[in-house]
Structure 1
């Protein structure tokens, strides 16, 4: 998608995402749509994450997955999303849940990311790679903000056809 939209990526994707999020925010208001990413069969006692670690969530949406991860593991999640409305909803939801997660409005394609080097112990994203403008550049930046031996998790539908 990004290759198709360049060089007007920012204006085209920005308009597209604003329309998408207007609809998605209404759908999410009907229920916990993000629960489809959280399996009910997970053993909450078994985690690859240590308590008190810092986790980066690119494309955090309304923060439901971040809340689940923090509640299940004791981690603190920092979410990044391009849509300020979803960031506001993520903050409100996580505060209501009594969690210390934080959320920032930022386009993940505007590098560098707004974090210090070696800030995070882990990183995950759900369905964000299709919006990566320059995947190698973004992964180089992620390598900078992640601590050595950080854990990563990528969940996406088919983004690239090889």
Structure 2
């Protein structure tokens, strides 16, 4: 997703339609609720790793007297973000290309920096947080949210294998799977004082009476048609036949009346 000067960190899942289906589901309400209490109408916010811009556009609506800048390292996705913002009539925002390891902004530029599901895809989350902290004004905040783990009931062998493969892909790419559980450590290493760190957690919870069918059908497609498939096979941990079994298991799980699938996310607010 992001590039450190001289070194690439590959985004494990790519940006095909099955991946963007997941990203476009995210909103301020379901992905940034922990950040909202800190937002004031005149804030200047940077959204790092903004993807297709739906969260970015939602944040812009909360700062009518301020502005939001969305940043990503994939130009095609930035084009989609601009189109999405335009469709919503939101004008107090801009989208720029850039790396989280070398933000192209002066020190003390923003009131807040937000990053959603970014650190887990990086080989050096601490360095990224240091750079986010650099561009925040004194007294401003860095707010990040990252996945810690997948949980599901009833247990199935295939979905357990999916979880193992997911982690292995990230390990092999030199990323940081489960980064959401390490946010306090990263923040301390990035220079946030202990008294200026607030760590919380919240889930995405998909149930048979909620969004379980959407979540499972999305992953049933994604394990076979996104970069996940190619990267999973490259690990040597799985086969095409097993990925088909995992895809089928997701499809079956979507119909389970007792089905419950949760993504637990860690959340950090660090004040400079």
SS of equivalent residue, structure 2 residue 51? coil
Task: Give matches, 1:59-70, under 5 Å.
Answer: 59-70=49-60
1:98 to 90, 94, 102: 90
Equivalent residues of 2:39, 2:62 under 8 A apart: no
Task: Kindly state the Cα deviation for residue 47 of structure 1 after the two structures are TM-superposed.
Answer: 4.4
**In the alignment, is residue 85 of structure 1 matched against residue 76 of structure 2?**
yes
1:58 to 33, 39, 48: 48
Task: Kindly state the Cα deviation for residue 88 of structure 1 after the two structures are TM-superposed.
Answer: 0.8
SS of equivalent residue, structure 1 residue 78? strand
Count of residue pairs the alignment pairs up: 141
Alpha-carbon spacing, 1:26–1:70, altered in 2? closer, same or farther (3 Å): closer
Equivalent residues of 1:127, 1:155 under 8 A apart: yes
The TM-score normalised by the length of structure 1 is 0.73
Alpha-carbon spacing, 1:151–1:26, altered in 2? closer, same or farther (3 Å): closer
Task: Kindly state the Cα deviation for residue 72 of structure 1 after the two structures are TM-superposed.
Answer: 2.7
Equivalent residues of 1:47, 1:73 under 8 A apart: no
Aligned equivalents of 2:90 and 2:117: distance in 1?
26
SS of equivalent residue, structure 1 residue 147? strand
Residue 48 of structure 1 is matched in structure 2 by: 38
Task: Give matches, 1:3-14, under 5 Å.
Answer: 10=8, 13=10
More strand by share: 2
Alpha-carbon spacing, 1:49–1:63, altered in 2? closer, same or farther (3 Å): same
Equivalent residues of 1:53, 1:76 under 8 A apart: yes
Structure 1: runs of 5+ lacking an equivalent: 1-7
Task: Kindly state the Cα deviation for residue 132 of structure 1 after the two structures are TM-superposed.
Answer: 2.4
Equivalent residues of 2:116, 2:146 under 8 A apart: yes
Aligned equivalents of 1:9 and 1:22: distance in 2?
23
**In the alignment, is residue 115 of structure 1 matched against residue 108 of structure 2?**
no
Which whole-Å deviations, capped at 9, do the CAs of 1:44-99 have from their partners, x for residues lacking one? xx843222211011110111111111113324111111211111111122233232
Residue 139 of structure 2 is matched in structure 1 by: 149
Residue 194 of structure 2 is matched in structure 1 by: none
Task: Kindly state the Cα deviation for residue 9 of structure 1 after the two structures are TM-superposed.
Answer: 5.7
Alpha-carbon RMSD across the aligned residues, in angstroms, is 2.7
Aligned equivalents of 2:108 and 2:18: distance in 1?
33
Aligned equivalents of 1:64 and 1:135: distance in 2?
23
Between structure 1 and structure 2, the one with the greater Rg is 2
SS of equivalent residue, structure 2 residue 10? helix
Residue 173 of structure 2 is matched in structure 1 by: none
Which whole-Å deviations, capped at 9, do the CAs of 1:86-124 have from their partners, x for residues lacking one? 111111222332322111122323x2x111111100111
